């Protein structure tokens, strides 16, 4: 099973309150914290993974719009060759493929390509982004690793993202899919309602 999605990575993403917390003695004053916004420079990343890790991390060039034609081209020219290289034999044995139901993902051009590949497409419930493994697992872990760092260029962001993904625990991908199945079960038992 392969899942994927897109996310922005910013040149500056301030630490969360929890990440910047400090232990203080009772009588010590609190440090002043200035509210900071995310950096203006950002790079969209398309990331696809399975239980063994990331298959494709594709940084989208600044100024490029991800529409159905672009997404289809990434599936054809980037993801499929990456699967062939990193997971030999998987294309021949059949692929269960999951992405959320964003309009780009459900466009006719994309569904036709997936049908042509004979990939079995797993349905994603509407309005439940937290049921996507990228959204509850990969992206938060990746962003947590990048928070508090400043990047000056698009290339700096791309390289830091590559390192952040490489540093993720390999076992966490198996955990992501196990958690996903538990979330799906909770959602089904909850009448299709939102679950955390």
Per-residue model confidence as pLDDT tens digits over 156-186: 999 999 999 999 988 889 989 898 888 878 8
Residues 25-31, mean pLDDT to the nearest whole number:
67
pLDDT top residue among 55 and 25: 55
* Percent share of the chain, pLDDT over 90: 53
65-69, 70-74, 122-126, 148-152: least confident range: 122-126
Domains and CATH numbers, the chain: 2-13+37-189 (3.30.420.10)
Q: What is the pLDDT of residue 19?
A: 45
Distance CA 181, CA 33 (A): 39
Residue 20 is predicted with a pLDDT of: 46
If one counts every other C-beta atom within 10 angstroms of the C-beta of residue 41, the result is 16
* Residue 64 pLDDT greater than 60, yes or no: yes
The pLDDT > 70 percentage for the chain reads: 83
Residue 120: pLDDT over 70:
yes
38: pLDDT strictly greater than 60: no
Predicted local confidence at residue 12, as pLDDT: 84
Question: How many CB atoms within 10 Å of residue 123?
Answer: 7
Whether pLDDT at 34 is above 70: no
At 69 the pLDDT is 97
Kindly state the average pLDDT of the residues 85-95.
91
Q: DSSP string covering the chain, please?
A: -EEEEEEEEESB-PPPTTTT-----TTSPPPP----PPPS-EEEEEEEEETTEEEEEEEEPTT----HHHHHHHIIIIIHHHHHHHSTTHHHH--EEE----HHHHSHHHHHHHHHHTPEEEP--TT-GGGSHIIIIIHHHHHHHHTT-B--SHHHHHHHHHHHHHTS-THHHHHHHHHHHHHHHHHHHTTT----
**pLDDT higher than 60, residue 37:** no
Contact status, residue 135 vs residue 36, Cβ threshold 8 Å: no
The pLDDT of residue 195: 60
């Amino acid at each position: 099973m392969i899942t994927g999605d897109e996310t922005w990575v910013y040149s500056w993403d301030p630490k969360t309150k929890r990440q910047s917390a400090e232990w203080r003695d009772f009588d010590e004053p609190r440090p002043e914290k200035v509210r900071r916004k995310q950096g203006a420079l950002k790079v969209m990343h398309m990331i696809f993974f399975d239980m063994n890790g990331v298959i494709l991390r594709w940084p989208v060039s600044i100024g490029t719009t991800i529409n159905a034609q672009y997404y289809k081209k990434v599936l054809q020219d980037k993801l499929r060759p990456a699967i062939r290289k990193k997971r030999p034999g998987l294309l021949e044995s059949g692929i269960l493929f999951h992405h959320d139901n964003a309009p780009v993902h459900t466009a006719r051009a994309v569904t036709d390509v997936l049908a042509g590949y004979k990939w079995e497409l797993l349905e994603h419930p509407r309005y439940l982004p937290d049921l996507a493994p990228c959204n509850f697992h990969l992206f938060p872990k990746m962003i947590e690793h990048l928070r508090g760092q400043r990047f000056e260029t698009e290339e700096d962001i791309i390289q830091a993202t590559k390192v952040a993904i490489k540093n993720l625990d390999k076992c966490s991908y198996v955990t992501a899919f196990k958690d996903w199945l538990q979330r799906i079960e909770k959602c089904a038992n909850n009448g299709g309602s939102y679950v955390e």
